[in-house]
Chain A
C-alpha cells in the first residue's frame, strides 16, 4: 500500500490499565475502501483498540495516524471525517429520531442537513419514525438510527463496534448489505469489530484476529482459513485460542 492508499495506521499501539495490559504492541494499517473485521473473544482488546483509534483513550505507548495525520495532535481535523456506532453507546432517549439526527448533523456541520437526514432515513427505512422518541424504538430500529448517525457526515473512516449484536439474522443481513453498499459507493474505510465469525467472514475482505491484547493473525478470510487448514473463520479462531 502506498501512503496515499493508507487511511489508518497503528504503530506499536499499547494500553495498560494499571498493571493489566489490554492491548499489546498492536501494529496494522487499513487501506482506502477496505472493510476490515476485528475479531476476538471477550476481553481480547477490541473495544480498547477502537477507543484508541477514536481518540477516546490515550495509548500508553504507540501512535495512531489517520489520513496520514497524528491523531493525538490533529484530532480537530481528523474527527470531522470519522464516525462510529456501538451498541454500548446510546443516543439521548427522550429526543426524537429527527431531533437527534438534527443535533448530530449540526455538530458535524453537514451541508444541507435536512436533505441528508431525509435521504439516510429513507434508505434505512426510518421515514415513519422520525417523530418518535428513541426510547420508544425497538432495538433493531435503534441500531438503524445509530447507523444513520454514524453515516450522517459521510465519514471516510467508519468504526463499528459490534453493530449487529443482539439483532435478528434478517436485520443483521440487511445492515451488512447497507454497509457494503456504502463502502462501494464512497470508498470509505470500515473497521468492523465483532465476535460473530460468520458475519465477518461474509462481510469483510480483511480480518485481524486478536487474543489477549495481541494481534495473532491477519489476512483475508479465505487466506486465513487456508493457512490454518480449517473450514471456517470460527475454526481458525478456536484453533488459535487453543494453541495459545
Chain B
C-alpha cells in the first residue's frame, strides 16, 4: 500500500509537469506525427519505382513501430532528467521512495507518454496514406511491448550512466537508441546488412 502511494505521488508529479506546459504536451504527439508524414510522402514517392518497398504501407508501419522504442526510451529518460535538471533527485532519494518504485513510476509515465504520442500518428496514417498499423492485429501488441521494453532497457543504462557521471553524459539519451537503428533494419531489409 505504501509503495502504491509513493508511485502515485511520482505520477502526480509528472502529471503536474505535463499540465504546466501545453507545448510540452503537444510535443509528445508532434514528433511521431511529423515522422509519419515525412515517411508517408517518401513512401508515396517510391511507390511507383519500388513497389516492394512500400507495399501494404510497410515503410510507414515500420517507422511507427520503431518510433515506439525511441519514444518509450525518451519519455522514461526525460522524466528522470527532469529530476536532475530541477535538482530534485536528492529530495527523492532521501524520501522513503525505493529504487524499484522510481523505476515503476518512470516506466508508467513513459508508457502513458508513448501512447499519447503514438496513437494520433497511427490514427492519422489511416486517412493520410491509407495505412493502418492496427491491421497487424495481435502481433502489433507483441512488437509494441517488445520495443517498449527494449526502450526502457536502454533508459536503464542511460540513467545509470547519468547517475554516475552527471549531466555531462546527457547527450547519451539521444545517441544510444540511434546506435541500434542501423542494425534494426527499419528502413531496409535485413539482407542489406553486410
Interface segment among B53-61, B89-97, B120-128, B150-158: the answer is B89-97
Residue among B86, B88, B90, B91 facing the most chain A CB atoms (10 A cut-off): B91
Instruction: Specify which of B86, B94, B95, B97 is in contact with A92 (CB 8 Å cutoff).
Output: B86
Known: A92-B82, A94-B20. A106 touches B94 (CB 8 A): no
Contact of A103 with B87 in the complex, beta carbons under 8 Å: no
For B141, the chain A residues whose CB sits under 8 A away are none
Contact of B86 with A91 in the complex, beta carbons under 8 Å: yes
Q: List 16 extra interface pairs beyond A79-B96, A99-B13, CB under 8 A.
A: A55-B94, A76-B98, A89-B90, A89-B91, A90-B86, A94-B16, A95-B16, A95-B20, A99-B12, A103-B16, A106-B6, A106-B8, A107-B95, A107-B96, A109-B6, A133-B20
Contact of A104 with B95 in the complex, beta carbons under 8 Å: yes
Cβ distance A109 to chain B, nearest Cβ, rounded Å: 5
Question: Does B50 make an interface contact (CB < 8 A)?
Answer: no
Question: Does B137 make an interface contact (CB < 8 A)?
Answer: no
Give how many A-B residue pairs fall within 8 Å (CB-CB).
Answer: 81
Known: A106-B5, A107-B9, A109-B5. A88 touches B87 (CB 8 A): yes
Contact of A84 with B94 in the complex, beta carbons under 8 Å: yes
Expressed in whole angstroms, the Cα–Cα distance for A142 and B152 within the complex equals 34
Question: Does B10 make an interface contact (CB < 8 A)?
Answer: yes
Chain B residues with CB under 8 Å of chain A are 2, 5-6, 8-10, 12-13, 16-17, 20-21, 82-83, 86-88, 90-98
For A106, the chain B residues whose CB sits under 8 A away are 5-6, 8-9, 12
Question: Does A54 make an interface contact (CB < 8 A)?
Answer: yes
Pick 23 A–B contacts, CB within 8 A, sort by A: A82-B94, A90-B86, A91-B91, A92-B13, A92-B82, A94-B16, A94-B17, A94-B86, A96-B16, A99-B16, A103-B12, A104-B91, A104-B95, A106-B8, A106-B9, A106-B12, A107-B6, A107-B10, A107-B92, A107-B96, A107-B97, A109-B5, A109-B96
Classify chain A's interface size. 20 to 34
Contact of A108 with B90 in the complex, beta carbons under 8 Å: no
A149 and chain B: residue at smallest CB distance: B91
For A104, the chain B residues whose CB sits under 8 A away are 9, 91, 95
Question: Does A86 make an interface contact (CB < 8 A)?
Answer: yes
Cβ distance B36 to chain A, nearest Cβ, rounded Å: 29
Residue among B93, B95, B97 facing the most chain A CB atoms (10 A cut-off): B95
Instruction: Specify which of A54, A76, A83, A92 is in contact with B88 (CB 8 Å cutoff).
Output: A92
B98 and chain A: residue at smallest CB distance: A76
Residue among A80, A88, A96, A109 facing the most chain B CB atoms (10 A cut-off): A109
Known: A103-B13, A109-B5. A89 touches B97 (CB 8 A): no
Question: Does A93 make an interface contact (CB < 8 A)?
Answer: yes
Contact of A91 with B88 in the complex, beta carbons under 8 Å: yes
Question: Does A1 make an interface contact (CB < 8 A)?
Answer: no
For B17, the chain A residues whose CB sits under 8 A away are 92, 94-95
Contact of A102 with B94 in the complex, beta carbons under 8 Å: no
Question: Does A56 make an interface contact (CB < 8 A)?
Answer: yes
Expressed in whole angstroms, the Cα–Cα distance for A39 and B133 within the complex equals 64
Expressed in whole angstroms, the Cα–Cα distance for A100 and B104 within the complex equals 20
